[in-house]
Amino acid sequence: MPASSDISALLQHALSLHQRGDLQQAGLAYRQVLQLQPQQFDALHLSGVIARQSGDAQAAVELISQAIAIDDRQAVAHCNLGAALQDLAQAAAALASYERAIAIKPDYAMAHHNRGNALRILGRLDEALRSYDEALQILPAYPEAYYHRALSLQMSGLHEQALEDCACALQLRPSYAQALCASGVSLQSLQHYEEAIHSYEGALRINPDYAEAWCNRGTALHKLHEYEAALDSFELALQIRPDYANAHHYRGNALRALDRPQQAIGAYQQALAHGADASQLNYLLAALGVGDTPAVAPASYVKELFDQYAGHFDQHLQGVLQYQVPRLLAEAIDRHRAKGELDTLDAGCGTGLCAPFLRPYSHRLTGVDLSEKMLDKAAQTALYDELICAELSQFLALQPDCFDLIAAADVLVYIGDLQAVFEGARLALRRGGLLAFSVEQGAAHEGRRP
């Protein structure tokens, strides 16, 4: 039987190799320890850590779990198990591991931080923010916690606050490429496109192989109508990551904007081949004459489009496009209905631009829209009695004899086959009810709005 001093010396040698970054030799040394003492906690645990560092998360889970079976009071092992589970996209199991680590060691900043990451992935954003805050209370100089906190704020649409957290991360670590890229995302969401490009380029100076930063730079350039430069950026992203579905998708958008439809078709097909949203891509391909034309724009496409648009929707429509549809629709309604006690549905209500015009007709005003972020803006008008996130035709089919007036301002343009919507409106309207909607004139009429 080997002496404990021999095992201890071998373990120390393995740790030294591991700390120097020589993962292969460290792994061999840990295995030697385990040959001598199969139940050695540190050798099992750290072999699992090496497996994760080497990209084998499943082996990491198995090895660290064996270590925990020997001693389940080691917080660091639970935290490392959580990280490996998270690598395997098992966020709920990872969360349980982090919480076990915190129960053992309440002041474990990394466990609080990693718990925040798991909660963010699970969409529990308020809890994630609290977990990052707990990590920062324990360890104020924690750039990763600020960065991941910024990602949670971005998911909540709180881009000004996200920029503040990115700035804190960068103050602690000026060469933090991911935080620079995240700053660009928030700047872009706030329509500060040139500043966003500057942030992406800062990230790329630190890490020229940062495919996401190249792709994001391309989307910002596209917003500025610099389509050739955007195309170059997407192609650089694809040189780094040939299977990057979003870069193929956005490359197709740039090619379409450059009036190169056949190349755009090829890019969209590449995006499909690499796992992009088939409903969105098939919709875009149908617009270029490939495949069957869908009856309606995909819900995911409409939701994503208007979630992104929510923050500056009113400003763009009213300030840039001089949007008059709500007023014109109200004038048309006025010719058929007196202001009074109607149960009204604002179909595709968006941010609530029609609400001030519909409220005078309405005893009860309901808004329905696919975009939750648009509905959040509509709620701020305080003019609706109810706001519902739903697809329009499905919603109408479940509302028999509920409304006296249905108004749809610039909604039908997103629907190809109108039969389901009109049938739903007929079902939802009471006898003598009114459906009021706007349409758009096509290119033959010089694209003028009604």
CATH of the domain at 393: 3.40.50.150
Q: Cβ(66)–Cβ(57) under 8 Å?
A: no
Greatest CA span in the chain, whole angstroms?
99
Q: Cβ(358)–Cβ(365) under 8 Å?
A: yes
Q: Cβ(144)–Cβ(179) under 8 Å?
A: no
What's the N-to-C CA distance of the chain in angstroms? 91
Has residue 340 been placed in a domain? yes
Has residue 79 been placed in a domain? no
Q: Which two tokens stand for residue 146?
A: 């600020």
Read off the pTM. Answer: 0.75
Has residue 421 been placed in a domain? yes
Q: Cβ(394)–Cβ(423) under 8 Å?
A: no
Question: How far is residue 422's CA from residue 427's CA, in Å, rounded to a whole number?
Answer: 9
Has residue 114 been placed in a domain? no
pLDDT at position 444: 43
Domain that holds residue 383: 320-445
Helix (H) or strand (E) holding 362: strand 362-369
The phi, psi pair for 362, rounded to 5°, reads -115, 125
**Those residues with Cβ within 8 angstroms of residue 382's Cβ, 6 or more apart along the chain or in another chain:** none
The string of DSSP letters for 185-212 reads: HHHHHTT-HHHHHHHHHHHHHH-TT-HH
pLDDT at position 186: 97
Quote the DSSP letter at residue 447.
T
Q: How far is CA 440 from CA 27, 285, 377, 437, in A?
A: 67, 22, 25, 10
pLDDT at position 336: 85
Domain total of the chain? 1
Has residue 359 been placed in a domain? yes
Has residue 43 been placed in a domain? no
> Closest by alpha carbon to 395, among 417, 359, 366, 364?
366
- Three-state SS across 378-426? HHCCCCCCEEEECCHHHHHHCCCCCEEEEEECCCHHHECCCHHHHHHHH
What counts of helices (H) and strands (E) characterise the chain? 24, 5
Question: How many Cβ atoms are within 10 Å of 324's Cβ, its own excluded?
Answer: 14
pLDDT at position 449: 35
Quote the DSSP letter at residue 50.
H
The distance of Cα 438 from the centroid of its chain, to the nearest Å, equals 31
Report the half-sphere exposure of 109 (CA within 13 A, side-chain side). Answer: 13
pLDDT at position 337: 83
**CB-count exposure of residue 267 (10 Å: 0-12, 13-18, 19+):** buried
Which mean pLDDT values do the consecutive 10-residue runs of the chain (450 residues) have?
72 89 90 90 94 95 96 96 97 97 98 98 97 98 98 94 98 98 96 96 98 98 96 98 97 95 95 90 85 62 54 44 75 84 92 92 93 90 94 91 93 81 94 89 43
Has residue 388 been placed in a domain? yes
Q: Which two tokens stand for residue 403?
A: 């409304």
Has residue 410 been placed in a domain? yes
